[in-house]
Structure formats: C-alpha cells, structure tokens
Amino acid sequence: MATLYKQVHEPPPLDGAAAAVIPAPLIPVLRTALAKVPASRYSSARAFTEALQQARGQAQGAFFIPSPGLAAPVPTVPAPPPAAPKTAEASAGQSRLATALDKITALLQESPGLPRLLEVVLGAAQGLASAEAGRLVLLDVEPAGGALVEDVAGDGSEALRGTHLAAGESLLLRVAVRGKAFRSSNAAKEEGYSPKMDGLAASKPGFLVLPLVSGSLRGGLLLAGREGGFGPGEEADLIRLVRFGAVVLENSQARERALDSFTHTAELLVSFLEKADPRYPMHARSVAAGADMITAGLGRPAEEQLQIHFAALLHDIGKLGLDPALLRTEGELNEDQRRLIQQHVALGVQLISPISPWKELPRIIEAHHERWDGSGYPKGLKGNEIPFGARVVAVADAFDAMTVKNPGRPPEDVLAELQTAACSQFDPVVIRVLEGEYRRRASLLKR
C-alpha cells in the first residue's frame, strides 16, 4: 500500500535506469503533463503540443514523425442569419436564400470535409444568383499582398489550386484583401483582371466578386453570367449567404488543422509508448484496426468511427506515466502492481483531455476496462452505462492481446473464447459483430 500511495500522491517515477527506454527529452514533458497538482500542469493544449514538438526535435531515433502544426481553436458555427422580408418579391428572394442556407446547414450534420463544403457553398450561391458559372477560392494572403491559392471549387479548380498570385494580380485577390464586393459588366477590361483567376465562361452578362472573410479565412466567390446582370438586390442576399458560408468554411478549416495536429501528436505519443513497452509491438495500432473493423461492420457514422479509432489507438497511452520497470515485469503481477497498472487509465485521460478534438474520446479511454457485468474499473459501470466506444475498444483490445500472447493459436479459438465472455465481460453485440466481420473478411481473402 505504501507503493500505491507513492504512485498516486507523488510525481511519476520517470528517472533512473528504468526510464532509459523513454527518450530523455520526453521525460520533463511527461512530468509536467502528469503533475499531481493541476496548477503545475500545462496551461493549455497549445503549450502541451509545443512541448511535445520540442521533445520530438531534441530526441534521436527513426521512430519520430514529422512535426505537426499546432491545434487551432474551432469556432462555433452560428445559426443562419434571420430573414425579414417586406414585399412579395423580397419574400420570394428570402425563400431562395433560406433554401440555400438550409443546404449548407443540412450538410454540417454529416461532418463533411472542406472540399465537399466548398462545392456545396458554391452550388448554393450559384443557384441563389441564377449564375451560369462560378468559382469559390480560399487564399493564403501574404504580408506583401500576394497570395497562394489554398483550395478552390468550381470552374478550372484543378488548374488553379496551388497558383501564386502577385499583389494586385487578380480582381478576386483585391476583393479578398479589401473585403468589399465588386461588380462589373465587362470584367476583362477592369484593371487587375487575371484571365486565369478571374475568367469564367458565360454567355450572359454580369460579373460579381464577393469577399469570403471570417476570422483568419480569406477568399472570394466569383459569379458570372446572369440574365440582366447582377444588381444590388442579388448582391445583398448573396452577401448574407457568403458570410454564413465563410464562417462554416473557417470552422471546417480550423477543425481539419486541429485534427491534423492531433493525428500527428497521437502518432508521436504512440511511438513513445512502443519504446517504453516493447513487449507488445504494434498493439495500439492493431487495436485501432480491430475497432475500425467493428465500427464499420456496425455502420456507425464516419465521425464516430474516427473518434473510436483514436480512442483505440491511445487507450493505453497513460502507461507513459508509469514506471517503465513495472511495464517490463515478467510473470504475474502482485496486488500492488495491478493497482499501479490500473492508474494508466486516469493518466491517459489526463494526457489526452487537453488536446482531444472530441469530448467523448477521454471518456472512452477512461472506460475501456469497464466490464459488461459491472465488475470492471475504474467506476464499475455496467451494460449500456459504458460508453459505446469503450465497449468496442475493450473487445478489440482483448482480441489483439489474446492473439499476440499465443501467436500459434487459431483466431477461431480466440473468437470462441471471447464469445463465452459476452454478457459478462463484453457487450454481446460488439462480440457478434467482431466475429461476423472477421469471418467475412477472412472469406474474401480466400477467394
């Protein structure tokens, strides 16, 4: 019990010969992240990520990955702007605007990627304006006034992606920088017109560029070809649509950057764990693959599948805060050692909570040792009280551990043993899906 008290109330034992398997630059990072006193920990996810990257740069070894960018805060998407029509014509226009906004809002339920969102926002704007042609462009604007085309949807998108624009080279760039709409009846004669960036094939008159601005996001919407051209009335509704679209796109862009940063950080942490606990090489990745198989078999939403994948990948990451000598203990663990090992759940939550893009992910990590009959730890949750993702990770974890410990054992035997533990240790539905998916994929390999 004295050992257990020390583990809980004192800093993790990250020194001495036992810690030799952990790269030295990571040790102070872990000391801070796992400090017993909250005030002594990192003040933010950014501070933690920066420290991890510095450790990566200082450490030696081929197992490191390229430096990720820092996680960006993800803004909340506001409700679509309210409408206040005053005439029958305005009411009809407002109805078209509402329909266009609904298209974008409905897509958000699917957690689409940025390319898909660009296409939908462009389509909604082009439909609202009854424009023949359109293009939506995101720019990385440089301090000197030039810009790089980061992403683009619409006419000529493939040829334009990655294009560099000099300062003043394009009407779209001018609008993006100044934040003011621009209309023209003959765009090709306007100063700064760029045939490559601003040119749109249209048989009808009218050319309109609207700024796409929200937070750090900069870009523009190009529309061309409308019976009678584009007037102030059309521009007003389009501005409202584009403002909403800009916030949605900024949200998606920030989320993708945050997820990219989290992905790299997760891989970095798993690489450290594989060095600290070499008895189970590739265990974290195998559990993640097993969890992917289960969630795909259940047809869960893509966003939930991704969340459970990372929870499976990081389910044992709290072991980085344990004494490496404990992880390398041979034979059966005594009671004190088992209690110490169980601390990896709380340590994992402490490590991941500040940097996770999902609130549910730390809960999955925390609950992956709970049992269906309520006899697990740390909270003794039972049945559906256990987060679904944790039930998936528990089964994938057990399947991989049982096959690794007995590499010559047929997988069918492992599946049969897991089946006997359904309704006691594991969710019977998850066991059934694992068994079905494993056999289905095995049969495909035999063809």
Q: What is the pLDDT along the chain (447 residues), one digit of tens a residue?
A: 344 334 434 444 444 444 444 556 666 776 777 666 667 777 665 566 667 667 656 653 333 323 333 333 444 445 555 544 445 444 555 677 887 788 788 777 676 788 889 999 999 999 999 999 999 999 999 999 999 999 999 988 888 999 999 999 999 999 999 999 999 988 999 999 999 999 998 988 889 999 999 988 999 999 999 888 887 777 888 898 999 999 989 988 888 888 888 998 899 899 888 888 776 778 999 999 999 999 999 999 988 999 999 999 999 999 988 888 888 887 788 889 999 999 999 999 999 998 898 999 999 999 999 999 999 999 999 999 999 999 999 999 999 999 887 888 888 899 999 999 999 999 999 999 999 998 888 777 665
The upper half-sphere exposure of residue 264, i.e. CA atoms within 13 Å in the direction of its Cβ, equals 18
CA distance 81 to 239: 11
Position of tokens 């490559």?
A: 196
What is the model's pLDDT at position 55? 67
- Phi and psi (nearest 5°) for 234? -65, -40
Residue-level pLDDT at 66: 31
Cα separation, 200 vs 225, whole angstroms: 9
- Range 74-85 burial, b when 16+ CB lie within 10 A, else e: bbebeebeeeee
Domain with CATH 3.30.450.40 in the chain: 88-254
Question: Any idea of the CA torsion for 402, 406, 411, 412, to the nearest 10 degrees?
Answer: -90
Among left, alpha and beta (phi > 0; psi -120 to 50; other), residue 30 is alpha
The pLDDT, as a whole number, for residue 23 is 58
For residue 66, is the peptide bond before it cis, meaning its omega torsion is within 30 degrees of 0? no
pLDDT value, residue 118? 92
Pairing of β 147-154 and β 182-184:
unpaired
* Structure tokens belonging to residue 123: 């389509």
Full-model pTM: 0.69
Q: What is the DSSP letter of 13?
A: -
CATH 3.30.930.10 matches 88-254 = no
pLDDT given for residue 21 in this prediction:
45
3 state DSSP class of 96: helix
Which residues of the chain are in CATH 1.10.3210.10 domains? 2-69+277-446
CATH of span 2-69+277-446: 1.10.3210.10
Helix axes 360-367, 302-313, angle to 10 degrees: 50
**What's the pLDDT score for residue 234?**
72
**pLDDT of 193:** 93
